[in-house]
Chains A and B, each alone.
Chain A
């Protein structure tokens, strides 16, 4: 019984939140990795792109809520998500036209594009704060729980409860759908194949008559969809605050690099590695060990390796270890 209880505690506080957070990071890292693979630069504005898409979704959600539209037990934000993706796509295409295209034509060095993306980051950050303000916004509605801790306890008779929040399940389901769609697109469609070809060898792709501007436009559209979805899911699961999204840049980049920049599968693996590492190391394991160990050996302290505020340190440490010992990442990056 104690063993089961320990597993339930671990599931409830580490594994379920880890899967949800990992899915969010994976979606974010997929966007970073696609831009790196096709446009060949690290996009520092990605966190703020996520924030912008999420913001549009939130505004539409509020509009829908105002009109009395709801999605039953599911959050209204899911209905608003396509509008958010559309808004975000318009913004990134506009940015590409006005900003990035110039440097692409010039064949500027990647590091110049990174600095340019810093400028874009400033502007997007400012726009989001200007429109929705710098404060926390909650926009989740509908049923909060699929399974409450108390119901679980009554159902199983265990001492520990397992809660399953709607947002967590939605996150995982949406992420699976998004990733499946992405891989289908990249592997089965003509456009997707041309994107992979372009990422693999630009000159050869040009010679085969692939239109680079079309590839770039599709890339931005996909990135906008992924970024908005990631942003909305993160906002539903936690809450929406522009600054938090900016800070997500670090774990997202860590995920993409750990998995291997440019490799979509790597981005997903990296997302889960980072998410589980962050949550396991910052979670107090006292309760779990309390169930597993004999009473005499039970730990006194919280057995928390690091406090939650050091979660950046965890992403960072994993990043450094991977970079030092396996610089191409777990999945060998570089090409899609």
Chain B
């Protein structure tokens, strides 16, 4: 059996699993898995770029995904004109002051000669800057958050609607790239475990910002009704032409419209995945990709050959994070809501890592396969283990405390399963299902 046959077979297997879901649980359930699988595959490609190509240990994926989600809100939601009038300008000035303080501090640090004068100047600049920033920021925030706090209480976005909403995806990527630049400038070049802890921390901070800065993202009050680039079910159901077409397929309008909308998403996501995958493949085969792998395998040798290791690392860190941010924006448009409290590192960082390791780090097709396969398992392990636990506990009396407890535990089986899958793959197929060539 040659490699191509095996790989096609693996993809075929995952396709069968998803199609099987369609027959057992309905087309809607299968399409949900497909859509999230597509998003997961894109995230896995981003992480694969960083880990598989360059050996960068980034466990702050969640932060970049969340920033992408914020981009969807900032692009799609209608602007809260009253709030902008009340505090938008002041907020902008506060932000400028904040950024200027940091840039100034960096300038002072780089330009002035080391010594006591520099330390004093640096500390004075930071304290004065911070006080100015808070003096401007606090009233602006209060003014913005006072405007109809139950309904809006935030600045809102640009109010872009319809198919143009896809702009939010690259914007999410750019937002994540900007954050990645700042992080990369400070934290890259650290040893791999240190970079890991640093990225873990930055992800938690980004989530804390989204949860607390109500003026920006409504915080834990969540943003709902983020516009979609697709049709809306209610519009389709009211459209006689669509109802007729659905009837032609033997579907009632409700089922037909939900499937139609999900298919629209699937098509859009597939286009994005295809573009990212083609670009990643081209990059992998290009001299640039070879250089990246050379740096990964032996940094010292690559540096001796005149490669700028730090700059290349920064480059690929930004690219990978941008892809994750884009996927995050796609996910928020699919959910059409931003719930900062839903971002959990196990789900949005470590699960993506499982996808990359299981699929095969360093291989783009492996990452895509891992994305679909692990997402399928993540979704299906819960009902499967509920079924299994029900079978195991069948002899126990109904309503017994142990039985109820075990049945409640089904939700946590997915964590154990993911850990087991990761450990088994690392042990018996350390290069993943589709190894790097």
Shortest distance in angstroms between B215's beta carbon and chain A's nearest beta carbon?
A: 14
Q: Could you tell me if B409 and A130 are in contact, using CB atoms closer than 8 angstroms?
A: yes
Please indicate the chain A residues that have their CB under 8 angstroms from the CB of B430 in the complex.
Answer: 112
Q: Could you tell me if B190 and A323 are in contact, using CB atoms closer than 8 angstroms?
A: yes
Shortest distance in angstroms between B285's beta carbon and chain A's nearest beta carbon?
A: 25
Q: Could you tell me if B426 and A116 are in contact, using CB atoms closer than 8 angstroms?
A: yes
| Contact (A309, B208) CB under 8 Å given A111-B57, A116-B426, A119-B423 | yes
Q: Could you tell me if A121 and B350 are in contact, using CB atoms closer than 8 angstroms?
A: yes
Q: Could you tell me if A313 and B412 are in contact, using CB atoms closer than 8 angstroms?
A: no
- Give the complex CA separation of A261 and B191 in angstroms: 12
Q: Could you tell me if A122 and B419 are in contact, using CB atoms closer than 8 angstroms?
A: yes
Q: Could you tell me if A312 and B190 are in contact, using CB atoms closer than 8 angstroms?
A: no
Please indicate the chain A residues that have their CB under 8 angstroms from the CB of B422 in the complex.
Answer: 115, 118-119, 122
Quick one: CB contact mask for A212-231 with B, threshold 8 Å, 1 for yes? 00000000000000000000
Shortest distance in angstroms between B75's beta carbon and chain A's nearest beta carbon?
A: 26
A126 close to B (CB within 8 Å): yes
Q: Could you tell me if B350 and A118 are in contact, using CB atoms closer than 8 angstroms?
A: yes
B7 close to A (CB within 8 Å): no
Quick one: CB contact mask for B150-164 with A, threshold 8 Å, 1 for yes? 000000000000000
Chain A, interface residues (CB within 8 Å), range: 35 or more
B205 close to A (CB within 8 Å): yes
Chain B, interface residues (CB within 8 Å), range: 35 or more
A110 close to B (CB within 8 Å): yes
| Contact (A115, B202) CB under 8 Å given A122-B415, A307-B212 | no
Interface positions, chain A 297-312, Cβ under 8 Å from B, are 301, 307, 309-310, 312
Please indicate the chain B residues that have their CB under 8 angstroms from the CB of A115 in the complex.
Answer: 353, 357, 422, 426
Q: Could you tell me if B200 and A250 are in contact, using CB atoms closer than 8 angstroms?
A: yes
| Contact (A312, B208) CB under 8 Å given A102-B427, A121-B419 | yes
B239 close to A (CB within 8 Å): no
Shortest distance in angstroms between B313's beta carbon and chain A's nearest beta carbon?
A: 15
Q: Could you tell me if B211 and A316 are in contact, using CB atoms closer than 8 angstroms?
A: no
B198 close to A (CB within 8 Å): yes
Q: Could you tell me if B419 and A310 are in contact, using CB atoms closer than 8 angstroms?
A: no
Question: Which of B55, B193, B346, B417 is packed against the most chain A CB atoms within 10 Å?
Answer: B193
B186 close to A (CB within 8 Å): yes
B377 close to A (CB within 8 Å): no
Q: Could you tell me if A118 and B353 are in contact, using CB atoms closer than 8 angstroms?
A: yes
Interface positions, chain B 176-203, Cβ under 8 Å from A, are 186-187, 190, 192-194, 196-198, 200-202
- Give the complex CA separation of A82 and B358 in angstroms: 38
- Give the complex CA separation of A325 and B416 in angstroms: 40
Q: Could you tell me if A309 and B415 are in contact, using CB atoms closer than 8 angstroms?
A: no
Chain B minimum-CB-distance residue to A118: B350
Please indicate the chain A residues that have their CB under 8 angstroms from the CB of B186 in the complex.
Answer: 320, 324
Chain A minimum-CB-distance residue to B420: A123
Quick one: CB contact mask for B402-420 with A, threshold 8 Å, 1 for yes? 0001001101111111111
Chain A minimum-CB-distance residue to B422: A119
Question: Which of A110, A120, A320 is packed against the most chain B CB atoms within 10 Å?
Answer: A320
Inter-chain pairs besides A118-B422, A130-B416, A243-B344, 19 sampled, C-beta below 8 Å:
A42-B197, A111-B57, A119-B419, A120-B419, A122-B350, A122-B354, A122-B415, A122-B419, A123-B416, A123-B423, A126-B412, A130-B409, A246-B345, A246-B346, A250-B204, A253-B197, A257-B194, A312-B208, A319-B198
| A-B CB proximity, top 5 nearest | A122-B419, A126-B415, A123-B419, A126-B416, A316-B201
Q: Measuring CB to CB, which residues of chain B are less than 8 angstroms from any residue of chain A?
A: 55, 57, 138, 186-187, 190, 192-194, 196-198, 200-202, 204-205, 208, 211-212, 344-346, 350, 353-354, 357, 405, 408-409, 411-420, 422-423, 426-427, 430
Q: Measuring CB to CB, which residues of chain A are less than 8 angstroms from any residue of chain B?
A: 41-42, 99, 102, 110-112, 114-116, 118-127, 129-131, 133-134, 243, 246-247, 249-250, 253-254, 257, 261, 301, 307, 309-310, 312-313, 315-316, 319-320, 323-324, 327
10 contacting pairs across A/B (C-beta < 8 A): A114-B192, A118-B422, A123-B415, A123-B423, A130-B416, A250-B200, A312-B205, A316-B198, A316-B202, A323-B187
